Amino acid sequence: MMTTTTDEDDSELQHAIQASLMVGNNNNTHKNAGRAAAATRTTTTSTAPEVVQIVTKMKKNGLTTTHPKVQMPKRLSQHDQEDVILRCVNRVAPYSFSVDTLLRSLKTIQSNPSNRKFHTVNTSTVTFQRSLTAPGVLDLLKALNFHPHHSPTNTTNFENNNNQIILTLSHYDAAAFYLGISALEQIQQTSPEYARHKALRLFQKELAPALNLKIDDNDNDNKEEASARKRYLS
């Protein structure tokens, strides 16, 4: 009888110990959760100013200081004159009409460098708008020392608008013109993009008279039909 009582006491004692351990674990869990939440708040609070400081530092010092291994490409104006001319000619290559017009114009100036009649380019003319509005044309002219002519009636920004600018050759640079002409001639001879666009232009040029003739024939047929109908009704 005493043995049974002892066993029951031991069993109750074990249950009590386990219950106590569970309560302790729950308390520890709540404490740990509270500590984690507090740590998160602290980290968030401390991180926000750091992010602001980093962004401010990037704006102040630039990408080069904050990320020294990242190399930003140079602006076009930061390249030397020869490099700018070659880059601009390559940009113009897919536009055969612009290439041909530029080459013809530069050769005219090269043949008559002292004739000031050829030193001015009015970008608002029909000829310029039709043949020289391709990407890279204005930058190429700028690299060849064409600059906006400053006058009370011409205050247009060179980079932002090419519809109402008068460009003037500030000084003739024979080497720059020679390089530009040579590069454009090279485009004419070797560029696949130039060749494709040139072929398309010639095809459209040959097709245009046929289309106009067909339209004229239709107009004549319509006029004859209208005249016959009028005679019949009268």
Reported pTM:
0.55
Answer whether residue 213 is part of any domain.
no
Answer whether residue 196 is part of any domain.
no
How high is the pLDDT of residue 163? 52
Rama region for 145: left / alpha / beta (φ>0; ψ in -120 to 50; rest): left
Same domain? For 107 and 175 the reply is yes
Same domain? For 54 and 135 the reply is no
In the chain, the number of structural domains is 2
How high is the pLDDT of residue 187? 97
Same domain? For 103 and 166 the reply is yes
Q: For position 95, which CATH number holds? A: 1.20.58.2190
Q: Which of 155, 172, 190 is the last residue of a domain?
A: 190
Answer whether residue 215 is part of any domain.
no
State pLDDT tens for residues 41-74.
554 444 455 555 654 555 555 555 665 655 545 5
Same domain? For 48 and 95 the reply is no
Answer whether residue 110 is part of any domain.
yes
Tell me the H-state helices in 136-191.
Answer: 137-143, 174-190
List the domain range (segments joined by +) for residue 41: 2-66
